């Protein structure tokens, strides 16, 4: 279980701040080459490779699905389509 962002430190199930930030970044649209990678580095402080590793693990997390079902299901469809192309 993760500690919520509440100041009193109450424990409740849910996504950590970084996990919520990753999903929020995926909801955004990016224009131009490199814009998303730049946002990953500047806003999250992660390398794009690490970001995509965390994102892929997050797509299999039921907490992520409960937090943002539209984004998670869309990304799962994209991932599954790419896997079937291989």
Residue 25: the pLDDT is 96
**What's the pLDDT at 4?**
46
Structure confidence at residue 65 (pLDDT): 96
pLDDT attached to residue 5:
47
Predicted local distance difference test score (pLDDT) of residue 3: 44
| Averaged pLDDT in 10-residue chunks for the chain of 86 residues | 46 82 94 92 96 96 96 96 87
Q: Which pLDDT score, from 0 to 100, does residue 85 have?
A: 86
Q: What is the pLDDT of residue 8?
A: 47
Alpha-carbon torsion angle 19, 23, 25, 26, nearest 10: 140
Which residues have a Cβ under 8 Å from the Cβ of 14 and sit 6 or more positions away? 2, 4, 63, 67
> What pLDDT sits at residue 78?
94
**Angstrom distance (rounded) from CA 74 to CA 79:** 9
Q: In 10 A of CB 19, how many CB atoms?
A: 19
């Amino acid at each position: 279980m993760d500690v919520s962002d509440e100041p009193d430190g109450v424990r409740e199930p849910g996504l950590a701040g970084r996990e919520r930030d990753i999903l929020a970044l995926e909801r955004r649209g990016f224009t131009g080459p490199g814009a998303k990678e730049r946002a990953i580095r500047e806003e999250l402080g992660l390398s794009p490779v690490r970001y995509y590793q965390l994102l892929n693990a997050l797509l299999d997390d039921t907490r992520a699905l409960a937090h943002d079902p539209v984004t998670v299901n869309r990304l799962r469809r994209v991932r599954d389509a790419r896997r079937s192309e291989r």
